[in-house]
């Protein structure tokens, strides 16, 4: 056993785990990858306090050992997979709600608290955090920040950065630093360093605590779906609603294929897929909230504008409710919802670009053509709206991938790269919620150009030895691979490169 593991045991005692069966669980997430592409860390630690994390990073820094932190491991592109081995910090053991300050509408929690645990702590005070992903029961607040995740309610409330007041971080220098302005909701003092941690993927440090801005819970909420003859018409409709002054909590534009992914409960109940008119090419799910009288007025006005623009409300409530249960409430009936029933033969795999509002239809056609080119089974596209009170798209372009078939996984990675580049060519971005991970490292400069050199210098400020989640966002600059994890599942020693590692043309899995 390596000397640094003995030091970890001396510092953290029973919170250090090295058995193969314990390490193996941390070697993969939900990204498409074959069983040979599982990369367990060399050692796992289960911290309780920030000081535990600091001690672990201090030991790692002294020995030049990689450090990867993770939460629920529900990522879709390998962001928390320890592709270079080393130390894995399981942040879920740090899940305490530190303070709910109802008077100032803030909450502070350890980094391993899930978004649902935070929601539960706020509920008695009539407050909530609107940034809620589908995975809120397993997604930790630190992971939410590190991935800059999407939310069901992004069109009104935006992404996590809109709620983030401060972060406590253990940097790659083994220093504990608080970045941000605590309970003040905004500040012009200092540099906006806390913002760097939104989407940082653990490459600058480990987020051990965060303070978030909470919001009052509205009296009522409505969820409806409207059919449109094209995605362009659906986008124009949302533009009309914004011009009319309506506050829209959330909007999701689904293609027909994607709707069927979210309606397993409907199919189980009725014995068939939901019937959608042939002319309908876009299904817009729209969420409104507010005082009951205001809500009723807004809903009627929204339907009036929809009618003027050729939209038709979905009148069969089972379709709407099946979508909402799957998307937000996740009411659990064993084997009767999209997870895990849809994953028995092939696995969900997605690319997450963002494109300008005027090119959504064009991009959808490019998605279908690219998937067909690489002979992949299309699951469908969902365009989330994630910028407050404006039209800013986060696209989930999803496929079914047989992760037992190396050839199919490789085709998925080529699709992933090609679609990422297409989005950039359209004036968009390669990633909107998964991050770059190791997948996009080989072609990151395609979007960012010479700015990548500044990214590298910025990382050195926080992580001078490059030990924090190495190989993600930027190339691993260490000497060779580190630790047993790099050799694949169940291995010790070795040194096989991670999928899509440095120099790989197609990128790897998240």
Inter-residue contact 64 to 467 (CB < 8 Å): yes
- 282-290 β-sheet, strand order: 312-313, 220-228, 282-290, 250-254, 377-385, 393-401, 347-351
Inter-residue contact 69 to 89 (CB < 8 Å): yes
Backbone phi, psi, residue 359, to 5°: -120, 15
* Mean of all residue pLDDT scores within the chain: 89
Q: How far apart are CA 437 and CA 201, in angstroms?
A: 7
Q: How far apart are CA 497 and CA 486, in angstroms?
A: 6
Q: Would you say domain 220-340 falls under CATH 3.30.1490.190?
A: no
Return the closest-CA partner of residue 382 out of 336, 350, 409, 422. Answer: 350
Q: How far apart are CA 83 and CA 474, in angstroms?
A: 13
Inter-residue contact 354 to 393 (CB < 8 Å): yes
Helix/strand/coil for 478: coil
Q: DSSP characters for 64-96?
A: T--EEEESS---SS-TT--TT-SEEEEGGG---
pLDDT at residue 486, as a whole number:
37
Inter-residue contact 391 to 242 (CB < 8 Å): yes
pLDDT at residue 490, as a whole number:
35
pLDDT at residue 510, as a whole number:
24
Helix/strand/coil for 177: strand
Q: How far is CA 304 from its chain centroid?
A: 35
How many Cβ atoms from other residues are within 10 Å of residue 343's Cβ?
13
Inter-residue contact 289 to 222 (CB < 8 Å): yes
Bridge partners of residue 349, in order along the sequence: 399
pLDDT at residue 142, as a whole number:
97
Q: How far apart are CA 382 and CA 327, in angstroms?
A: 11
CATH architecture, domain 107-216: 2-Layer Sandwich (3.30)
3-state secondary structure 119-138: HHHHHHHCEECCCCCCCCCC
Which CATH superfamily hosts domain 345-434?
ACT domain (3.30.70.260)
- 43-45 β-sheet, strand order: 16-17, 43-45, 87-90, 67-70
How many Cβ atoms from other residues are within 10 Å of residue 217's Cβ?
14
Identical fold at 220-340 and 345-434? yes
Helix/strand/coil for 386: coil
Q: How far apart are CA 336 and CA 406, in angstroms?
A: 29
C-alpha triplet 157, 123, 286: angle, nearest 5°: 35
Inter-residue contact 501 to 476 (CB < 8 Å): yes
Q: How far apart are CA 219 and CA 431, in angstroms?
A: 35
Q: H helices then E strands: how many in the chain?
A: 16, 18
> Which segments of the chain have a pLDDT < 70?
1, 330-344, 478-510
Q: How far apart are CA 352 and CA 374, in angstroms?
A: 17
Q: How far apart are CA 234 and CA 400, in angstroms?
A: 26
Q: How far apart are CA 114 and CA 102, in angstroms?
A: 19
108: CB partners within 8 A, 6+ apart: 97, 98, 99, 101, 209, 210, 211, 212
DSSP state of 309: T
Q: Tally the residues of the chain.
A: 510
User: What are the boundaries of each domain within the chain?
Assistant: 107-216, 220-340, 345-434
193: CB partners within 8 A, 6+ apart: 179
Q: How far apart are CA 299 and CA 82, in angstroms?
A: 47
């Amino acid at each position: 056993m390596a000397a640094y593991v003995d030091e970890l045991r001396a510092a953290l005692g029973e919170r250090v785990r090295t058995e193969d069966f314990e390490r193996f669980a941390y070697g993969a997430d939900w990204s498409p990858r074959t069983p040979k592409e599982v990369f367990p860390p060399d050692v796992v630690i289960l911290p309780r306090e920030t000081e535990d994390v600091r001690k672990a990073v201090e030991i790692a820094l002294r020995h030049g050992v990689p450090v990867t932190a993770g939460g629920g491991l529900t990522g879709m592109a390998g962001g928390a997979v320890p592709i270079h081995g080393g130390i894995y910090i399981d942040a879920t053991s740090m899940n305490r709600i530190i303070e709910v300050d109802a008077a100032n509408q803030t909450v502070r929690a350890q980094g391993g608290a899930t978004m649902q645990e935070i929601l539960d702590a706020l509920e008695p005070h009539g407050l909530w955090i609107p940034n809620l992903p589908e995975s809120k029961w397993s997604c930790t607040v630190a992971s939410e920040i590190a991935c800059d995740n999407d939310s069901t309610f992004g069109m009104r409330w935006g992404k996590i950065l809109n709620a983030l007041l401060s972060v406590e971080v253990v940097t790659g220098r083994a220093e504990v630093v608080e970045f941000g302005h605590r309970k003040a909701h905004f500040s012009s003092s200092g540099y906006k360093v806390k913002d760097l941690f939104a989407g940082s993927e653990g490459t600058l440090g480990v987020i051990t605590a965060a303070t978030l801005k909470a919001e009052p819970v509205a009296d009522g909420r409505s969820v409806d779906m409207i059919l449109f003859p094209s995605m362009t018409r659906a986008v124009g409709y949302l533009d009309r609603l914004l011009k009319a002054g309506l506050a829209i909590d959330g909007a999701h534009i689904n293609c027909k294929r994607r709707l069927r992914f979210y309606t397993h409960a409907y199919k189980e109940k009725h014995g068939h897929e939901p019937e959608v008119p042939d002319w309908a090419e876009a299904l817009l799910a729209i969420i409104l909230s507010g005082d009951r009288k205001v809500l009723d007025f807004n809903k009627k006005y929204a339907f009036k504008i929809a009618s003027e623009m050729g939209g038709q409300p979905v009148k069969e409530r089972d379709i709407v409710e099946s979508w909402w249960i799957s998307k937000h409430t996740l009411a659990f009936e064993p084997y009767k919802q999209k997870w895990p029933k849809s994953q028995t033969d092939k696995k969900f795999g997605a690319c997450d670009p963002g494109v300008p509002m005027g090119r959504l239809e064009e991009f959808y056609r490019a998605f279908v053509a690219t998937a067909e080119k690489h002979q992949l089974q299309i699951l469908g596209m969902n365009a989330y709206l994630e910028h407050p009170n404006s039209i800013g798209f986060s696209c989930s372009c999803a496929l079914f991938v047989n992760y037992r078939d190396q050839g199919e996984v490789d085709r998925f990675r080529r699709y992933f790269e090609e679609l990422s580049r297409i989005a950039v060519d359209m004036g968009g971005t390669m990633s909107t919620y998964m991050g770059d991970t190791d997948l996009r490292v080989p072609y990151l400069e395609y979007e960012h150009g010479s700015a990548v050199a500044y990214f590298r210098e910025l990382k050195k400020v926080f992580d001078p030895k490059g030990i924090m989640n190495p190989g993600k966002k930027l190339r691993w600059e260490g000497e060779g691979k580190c630790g047993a994890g790099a050799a694949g599942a169940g291995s010790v020693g070795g040194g096989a490169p991670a999928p899509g590692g440095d120099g790989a043309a197609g990128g790897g899995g998240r």
